[in-house]
Every structure is written in structure tokens, then in C-alpha cells.
Amino acid sequence: MFVQQFNRKPRWITAAPGRVNLIGEHTDYTGGFVLPFTIDRDCYVIAAPGEIAGMSRIFAADMGTAEVGAAHGELWLADIRKGLYPLVGGKPPSGFARGSWKSYVGGAIDRTRELTTKAGGKALANVDMVIASDVPAGGGLASSAALEIALAMWVQATSGVELAPWDVIKACREAEHSFAGVPCGVMDQAVVTLAQENHAIMMRCREPYKPVQVPMPASDKLAILVVNSNVRHALAAGEYASRVEACKQLETLLGALYLSDVDLASVENRRSEISEDQFNIATHVMEENTRVHAAVDCLKRGDLCGLGQLLTRSHDSLRDFYRVSCQELDAIVATAITHSGVFGARMVGGGFGGCAIVLCMPEVVESVSRTLRDMYRAKFSRDCSMTRVNPAGGAAVIVK
Ligand code: GLA
């Protein structure tokens, strides 16, 4: 794609994977526990020094298809050396519509460049770049973190400075807050950066973080299917922010720095002061944290049935208490868990559409897939798509 677009060979290639969160959903921004792993789907940044004086050209290929020439957007920058994105009061300039792919590109480059400059790295020069990803955008698989971290790897490669991983993780999360307008937690950027092949990361989402690598079952024992509902409900962004806000309000009310520090008994004691919605939100967060620990125990014991049940309970809680599921995801989970050989299933990521994961025995992958495909078509008159994924490693510079 790069050669087609720019008629020469690239100089740098970096890649960062998407992720599946096994369990621990909507807990990261409450200082809670998560258990994500990266998958063998990546966002690539392919670049070379810019050819046109005073101009950078960044093309984003159509996410998902990665067909040659399927560029669906381009970002022409006046002059990367003269301040790429002049920030107005810490905010992105008006040209970057919040949440568009450009705001992610602008934010990640800007915030990482700030760090490499402080560390004495080479100034960024103009660049010609192609971005191509097979992490489905908006699918709950952290396509945005993959994009941000792949860009951050490129900024480091081109500036000649290697930053501390947690500085990059925090810079990219901050970019997502201020440029893309999503008040996300730190889970996605952290796992995309720190993951090791065949491991999930168990982490408490607050200083000092202390991520622990937890071995995942071998692929002949466990198949992990990602089922994309191919729907994204318009309320997703606003609803995500409103859940974050609800947790902050609860923290203030309960006098806790992190909602995840509070136990359910203390919330019950204040039952009369909080609404039913708030009570349900607190219940989800607290029980989900407990499920993360139980899931790690199951992984250690090789108890896949126990693990699956925890996932299904997590889904029920996200549907009923946290209310971030949707009927398409509920139907996928309900159908999957009645199929023989399935250990459990749940929605992943922010919710309101996107993907569900199904844990099953490798022998039943085909028949579960067929059953889900038929159910989905019959019920929603559209197709869901599915793919088996494997726990992969973290972001990398492939060509320096
Ligand atoms: C999105 C956010 C994460 C996390 C999940 C929900 O993926 O980026 O920080 O909050 O939703 O668990």
C-alpha cells in the first residue's frame, strides 16, 4: 500500500495489536482489576521521510479490509516541524473533529513527541505514512489504542529515543481523553504495550500498576472466538462517559479515591442516599473485581468451565447492572452458552455493540460459528462476523 501510494519503499514499520479483555470490564477507570490479552490482529504504521518539502501526508487505509488502495482518509499536515498540532489551551485544534481517526493520529503523535523532545530526541521531520489495521474499528477490541501505540512506537523510532513504556501508555491515554474526547481508563494502552505472547495481563489499574503475566491455556484446549455484531449504537460514546461520571460521583459520595476500594457492605449501608442505578453500578464494579481474581485462579487450575461461567456472569452484570450491552450482543451470548462445548461468553470492551467473545472447545468452533451465524441472520436480518484469535505479544518496531 505504501509503495502504491508513494512510489517508493518505506523506511519505518511499527505495529501494535488489538486486545480482548477476558474479564474485568468497566473497572479500569475505578482503579479496579482487569485481565486482558492482545490478539493476533494489528495496526501497522508504515512510513518514510516526507518527499514534499514542508508537507506530511498520512493515509489511513480502510480499517478491516486492508485492500491495496482502499485509502479512506488522508491527513495533510502543513509542516510537521513547525508544531504539528498547535494546542489551544491543551485542546486539539478545531480541524480535528473529536473521535475521528485524525484526532487519534494527532493526539498520539503530539503527546509522544512532547516526551521524545524533552528526552533530547531528534525533532520530527515531515513524513509520508500509511496506516493499515485489521483490528475492527469500533469493535470493542481497542482499535484506537492499537493505533495510538503504533504511532507512539514510530515517533520513538524516528526520534532515536526509547521512552519508558508507562510514559507512553499514559501519554496515549491522555491523548485519547483530550483529542478523541473519550475519558477511557488505562487498560487498553497498557496491554497493547506490555503484552507477552500466550499470556494475559492481570493488573490493578492505578499506581503502581504492577502488571502480572498470567499464562493462557494452550490452543488445543481452548478456542477463543471473537464474534462481531457489526453494530455500533450511536449512544456509545456518550454512555461510556456517563458511566465514568457515575463512578466519579459515587467516589465523591462514598469518600473514596477509587470506587474499587469500597466494599459492597459499605455501599449497602448508604443505600438510602444513592439511586438504584448507582447501586447497580457499584455492584457491578465490586463483583467484577472479585470475578477477575476468581478467573486468574481458574486459569492457574486449568478450570475452563469455571472460567467460562465467570465470563457469562460478567455479561449478565454488564447487561443488567451496568447496562452497556445491547440486544445483538445478548443474543450472541445467550445462543453461544447453550451450545455444547462452550465454556462461557460475554461482550467485550466499552459495549453498545462491537464484539462478544466465546470460549469453547476447539472441536466445536465450526458448529458454534454456524449456529451463531444462522441465529443472527434469522433474528436481525444481517450478518455477524467471527474469527478465532490467539493471545499475541505487544507492540513492536518492525523496521527501524
Ligand atoms: C474501553 C476503554 C477502556 C475500558 C473498557 C471497558 O475499551 O478504552 O479503558 O474502560 O472500555 O472495560
The C-alpha atoms of residue 258 and residue 105 are separated, in whole angstroms, by 30
Asked if the model's pLDDT at residue 295 lies above 50, the reply is: yes
Measured in Å, residue 210 CA sits from the centre of ligand 1 at 19
Distance 287 CA to ligand 1 centre (A): 17
Gap between the Cα atoms of 7 and 9, Å rounded? 7
For residue 240, the CA-to-ligand 1 centroid distance in Å is 9
**Phi, psi torsion values for 147, nearest 5 degrees:** -65, -50
Type and span of the H or E element at 65 = none
Which residue's C-alpha cell is 519505518?
12
Cβ–ligand 1 distance for 353 under 6 Å, the answer no
Distance, C-alpha 83 to centroid of its chain: 28
- Check whether domain 2-216+393-399 has CATH 3.20.20.70, yes or no: no
For residue 162, the surrounding DSSP H or E stretch is: none
Going by C-alpha positions, the residue among 23, 19, 18, 20 that lies closest to residue 318 is 23
Please state the three-class secondary structure of 193-249 as a single string: HHCCCCEEEEEECCCCCCCEEEECCCCCCCEEEEEEEEEECCCHHHHHHHHHHHHHH
Q: Report the alpha-carbon distance of residue 230 to residue 325 in Å, rounded.
A: 14
Please indicate whether residue 236, judged by its CB atom, sits closer than 6 Å to ligand 1.
Answer: no
C-beta of 31 in contact with ligand 1 (< 6 A): no
CATH topology agreement for domains 2-216+393-399 and 223-389: no
For residue 188, indicate whether it is catalytic. yes
pLDDT given for residue 85 in this prediction: 47
The domains of the chain are located at: 2-216+393-399, 223-389
- CA atoms of 295 and 311, how far apart (whole Å): 8
The residue among 171, 190, 271 whose CA lies nearest residue 16 is 190
pLDDT in tens, 222-270: 999 999 999 988 767 789 999 999 999 999 999 999 999 999 999 999 9
Question: What is the pLDDT averaged over residues 326-345?
Answer: 98
- Among 18-22, 57-61, 74-78, 384-388, which is the least confidently predicted range? 74-78
Global pTM value:
0.93
Which of 42, 128, 134, 188 is catalytic? The answer is 188
> pLDDT for 300-320, tens place per residue?
999 999 999 999 999 999 999
pLDDT band at 100; cut points 50, 70, 90: confident
DSSP characters over 263-321: -HHHHHHTGGGS-HHHHHHHHHHHHHHHHHHHHHHHHHHT-HHHHHHHHHHHHHHHHHT
Q: How far apart are CA 175 and CA 346, in angstroms?
A: 29
- Is the backbone of residue 206 left (phi > 0), alpha (psi -120 to 50) or beta? beta
pLDDT of residue 72: 37
Report the top-level CATH class of 223-389. Answer: alpha beta
25 lines ligand 1 (CB under 6 A): yes
Distance 122 CA to ligand 1 centre (A): 33
Rounded CA-CA distance 40/195 in Å is 12
Q: Is 148 in the pocket of ligand 1 (CB under 6 A)?
A: no
Residue 80 banded pLDDT, cuts 50, 70, 90: very low
Q: Given the CA of residue 176, which atom of ligand 1 is nearest to it?
A: 8
Separation of alpha carbons 395 and 15, rounded Å? 6
Rounded to the nearest angstrom, the distance between the alpha carbon of 258 and the centre of ligand 1 is 16
Q: Is 37 left (phi over 0), alpha (psi -120 to 50) or beta?
A: beta
Binding site membership of 28 for ligand 1 (Cβ less than 6 Å): yes
